[in-house]
Amino acid sequence: MALSCGIVGLPNVGKSTLFNAITQAGAESANYPFCTIDPNVGVVEVPDPRLDKLVELVTPKSIVPTAFEFVDIAGLVAGASKGEGLGNKFLAHIREVDAIVHVVRCFQDENITHVNGKIDPLGDIQTINLELILADIDSVDRKIERSRKNLKGGDKKIAQEVEVLERVKEALYEDKPARSLDLSDDERLLIRDLHLITMKPVLYAANVSEAEVADTGNNEYVQKVREFAAAENAEVVQISARVEEEIAELEGEDKAMFLEELGLQESGLNRLIAAAYKLLGLYTYFTAGVQEVRAWTIRQGTKAPQAAGVIHTDFERGFIRAEVVSFDDLSAAGSMTVARERGQLRLEGKEYVVKDGDVMHFRFNV
């Protein structure tokens, strides 16, 4: 199953433009059979210079970067939690994603109407955040009511759950997202089934005009978004969705030249992908054979058998052990043979927690 980011924001802020850029630049879906086939879902490959280095070392027949999904979530307007716009339809989509990219309009363009008549990034953010909070209040209230009925059985776990929900409810009523609460892992687990929207990590994409693609720090709207995000411990990526659409149509040298003209090191899309990957708390490990060099995504803290399971369930079921070398060691050694001679190739068992950049070979038996 692919991890996913939902793109939210008020109407006319540039969500679909950004999403089009994503699908344009999009991945060859044949490589990613686990990804959803849906017009609102775009698969992106995660750029990783380490993959290029491994390709240099191994010269494989094929190269497969790791990927995740972006989902264009339409229909979020003021009053959506009460059925305005697409109303509750968007809620169903947004509950399923792992993280949220919140697009904020920071560009001036008289030809493009702003739903509230003026460019006001903080007002926009608050409008959207309020809808999300209201949607969560609704879920929490209903869950508390249901759980209270079951409380009579004297179930300790339900009592704990209600206690956590009451705390979440209090925060939401103070206009604070559920993620702002300092919940323990156990407490999070108790309410995980609710899929609270405001529990998901958020990244702000400040959509600026074509003239401001390179972040000079001069856009006052972006500055405001940055201040707001800093207080929330959230990241901001400055991007021009229009320009990203143009970049996504280009390849190779044309693309490099266009980026240089714009004064950019890399596309905004790549910066967004990197930021989203980090936001999701993800690690990459590699498999590197002559047939294929490939990057795989895991969550931080994943143990070797579960990491193997990302490749195939048989790998997890029949896991025996893993041969592991860190990317840095392999890269410095220049080949697997030298890394082995240097004693840098380790054998790891079921309890091994996979690190970012591990190059792995699994032994399994089914």
Ligand X SMILES: Nc1nc2c(ncn2[C@@H]2O[C@H](COP(=O)(O)OP(=O)(O)O)[C@@H](O)[C@H]2O)c(=O)[nH]1
Task: Out of 179, 242, 294, 303, name the contact with ligand X by CB under 6 A.
Answer: 242
Nearest distance in Å: CB 242, ligand X: 4
* Residues of this chain, 70-109, that bind ligand X according to CB under 6 A: 107, 109
- 169 vs 224, beta carbon nearer ligand X: 224
Q: What is the identity of the amino acid at 178? A: A
Cβ-based neighbours of 154, under 8 Å, separated by 6 or more: none
Asked if residue 24 binds ligand X (CB under 6 A), the reply is no
Restricting to residues 291-350, name those near ligand X by CB under 6 A.
none
In the complex, minimum distance from the CB of residue 73 to ligand X, in angstroms, rounded to a whole number? 10
Burial level of 209, CB count in 10 A (0-12/13-18/19+)?
A: middle
d(CA 70, CA 98): 10
Using rule CB under 6 A, residue 240 touches ligand X:
yes
Residue 90 CB coordination number (10 Å): 21
**Rounded to 5, what percent of the chain is helix, strand, coil?**
45, 20, 35
* Cβ-based nearer residue to ligand X, 81 or 219: 219
Give me the least distance between CB of 231 and Mg ion, in Å please: 28
Q: Could you say whether residue 16 binds Mg ion (CB under 5 A)?
A: yes
CB of 161 to ligand X, least distance (A): 37
Strands (E), the chain: 4-8, 41-45, 62-64, 67-72, 99-105, 202-207, 235-239, 282-288, 292-299, 319-326, 346-348, 358-364
- Using CB under 6 A as the binding rule, whether residue 209 contacts ligand X is answered as yes
Which of residues 61, 62, 112, 227 is near ligand X by CB under 6 A?
A: 112
Reduce the DSSP state of residue 35 to 3 states and report it. Answer: coil
- Residues near ligand X (CB under 6 A) are 9, 11-17, 107, 109, 112, 207, 209-210, 240-242
